[in-house]
A and B are shown apart, each in its own frame.
Chain A
Amino acid sequence: MRGTTPAAAVGRALILLFLAVFGVLMVMPFYWMVTSSLQTPQNLVAYPPKWWPAPAVLMHYRAALAKAPFLLYYRNSLIVAAISVGASILFGLFAGYAFAIYSFPLKGFFFILILATLMVPIQVTSVSLYILMAKFNWIDTFLGILAPDLASAFGMFLISQSIKGMPMDLIHAARIDGAGEIRIVLTIIGPLVKSVIATAGLILFIESWNDFLWPVIIINSERLRTIPVGVAFFKDPYDINFGPLMAATSIATVPMIAAYLFVQKYIIKGIASTGLKF
């Protein structure tokens, strides 16, 4: 019924055309970043603009890598993201299980208390958290970067909701077989909620990977810089040499975008089903 008339076919073609043109605009900054990083210095600032890097040169990449240790930034970002996501999922799994399965005094209070932290963003607490970190001597350390991100109310909530939907028989049977509670969580519940764990893990990973405000506050030394902090300090307000800058942002984003292309279906599905976060 729908879309059988010629008018409807034209309408659909117009919609596709519109979405395609808009899509080109959306990717244009990425395209411009990568092609600019390969342009010769003359072509980089040529008018009219050069749409294709011919000849393509790697000099900006050499300059970028000579100026900043991007491998180190990657290592730091990976360490921070891995520990933050791992700890958030592990603690979220146990707490999510406790809230879904047990009944205990003050359960509702603790649950609301944990979720209420979502209402107070790091932008509000950063000043007092920094003072606390100063007291702990955690400024300019990995512990300081990680401290506010070792647990996630969002991850805990997602995991708890999906455990709630599970049949209790499974847990009863395991208990009769003599399995302890910790073993039940790790070997029975964990594998059963692995798709939710994957979704939460991906979202938390992206969030940690792109996090900027807290890392830029707590990190002073180059050796601890994560990718966003490294890129922000790579930019020199008095130097308008855009070649190395575009090479630096390409180094910082292209691997992530490539990885995104492989898992984008899951990320988009996960975000659509869970809403929230970032």
Chain B
Amino acid sequence: MPSILRTARANRWHYAYLFILPILALFGLFRIYPSIQTLAYSFFDINLVSKVFKPVGLKNFLLLARDNTFQKAVGNTVIFAVWIVVASTAIGLVLASLFTSKMRAAGLFKAVYFAPFITSTVAAAVVWTFLYNPRFGLFNSLLQLAGLPTRGWISSSKDALASIIIFSIWKTIGYNMIIFIAGLQNVPDSFHEAAIIDGAGGIRRFFSISIPLVAPTTIFVVMYNTILALKVFDQVFVLTAGGPADATTVVVLQIYKQAFENYRFGYAASMAFVLFVLVISITILQYRLSRRWETSF
């Protein structure tokens, strides 16, 4: 028997390949192949009814460069991502640092803060359309009770993006908080105790102990929130459907509309490819920056 076969049998290669075959086949067909096709389809005009795939070169990308709505969508997505990353990460960290292991009702608070995150975004956003309603919504009622001017919320192009951002912060801070609590638990108590002896107050300790020592967690949370924000779709679809007048449209909503409302699959594929480049380059950039940042401590 040739030695390669002996090695194969001794190491049970046949089982190894048999065991990874299902996941490889499924991913190859339904994830990897479509990923490659996304780029390929960007160079076609596609009519799914007549099954005509007409190569058009760079036409879709040239159109994209002049598509004001798409540029608005990219801009909104970036604004949304910056807000979610900064606000949701900061609030998550502050909330987490208020938790101590000995605190009463810590479990209850965690459960409450985390509840929005496990709730369906669609269902929660539908509830918020009621809260945000300018005439009958709770938010305007409360503003009115407080003697403050009411707002248009999701029905005003001025407030709509901010409304989506507020909803999304509510939806995600619980997750960030839970991750930060886990990260802070790895900071040894002795650090805080030593700082207390040195007379450092709570706020001082937060900035000079918690923030630097929890940096690896922060990097994870920032990267996770960035990617989540770039993919935003559900709450925009429900709260505003991109309106009023494209004020809140985002990249994935544009992909959805071009492909499944206008049936311009090739054009939508070119948008999807831009999203892919956006996700990958921001991930790599953050990874690079975080490496530099981590080594500076």
Contact yes or no, A124 B276, CB < 8 A: yes
The number of A-B residue pairs with CB atoms under 8 Å apart is 279
B11 within 8 Å of A (CB atoms): yes
Contact yes or no, A210 B283, CB < 8 A: no
- Cβ-defined partner of A47 (8 Å) among B38, B141, B192, B269: B141
Say how far A8's CB is from chain B's closest CB, in angstroms.
Answer: 9
A124 and B272 in contact, given A129-B34, A148-B30 (Cβ under 8 angstroms): yes
A104 to B11, CA, bound (A): 7
A12 to B98, CA, bound (A): 9
Q: With a CB–CB cut-off of 8 A, which chain A residues contact B65?
A: none
B20 within 8 Å of A (CB atoms): yes
The 4 tightest CB contacts between A and B, nearest first, are A128-B37, A98-B19, A272-B182, A102-B16
Contact yes or no, B19 A240, CB < 8 A: no
Residue on A nearest B251 in the bound complex, by CB: A123
- Cβ-defined partner of B129 (8 Å) among A119, A121, A235: A235
Residue on B nearest A25 in the bound complex, by CB: B170
B122 within 8 Å of A (CB atoms): yes
A232 to B283, CA, bound (A): 31
A221 within 8 Å of B (CB atoms): no
A61 within 8 Å of B (CB atoms): no
Q: With a CB–CB cut-off of 8 A, which chain A residues contact B238?
A: 232, 235
Interface size on B, residues (CB 8 A): 98
A99 and B20 in contact, given A18-B98, A134-B48 (Cβ under 8 angstroms): yes
A242 and B136 in contact, given A49-B141, A134-B48 (Cβ under 8 angstroms): yes
Q: With a CB–CB cut-off of 8 A, which chain B residues contact A204?
A: none
Interface size on A, residues (CB 8 A): 99
Residues of A within 8 A of B (CB): 1-2, 11-12, 15-16, 18-20, 22-23, 26-30, 32-33, 36, 44-45, 47-49, 91-92, 94-95, 97-99, 102-105, 107, 110, 113-114, 117, 119-121, 123-132, 134, 147-148, 150-151, 153, 156, 181, 185, 206, 209-210, 212-213, 216-217, 227-229, 231-232, 234-235, 237, 240, 242, 245-246, 248-249, 252-253, 256-257, 260-261, 264-265, 267-268, 271-273, 275-276, 278
Q: With a CB–CB cut-off of 8 A, which chain A residues contact B187?
A: none
A156 to B103, CA, bound (A): 36
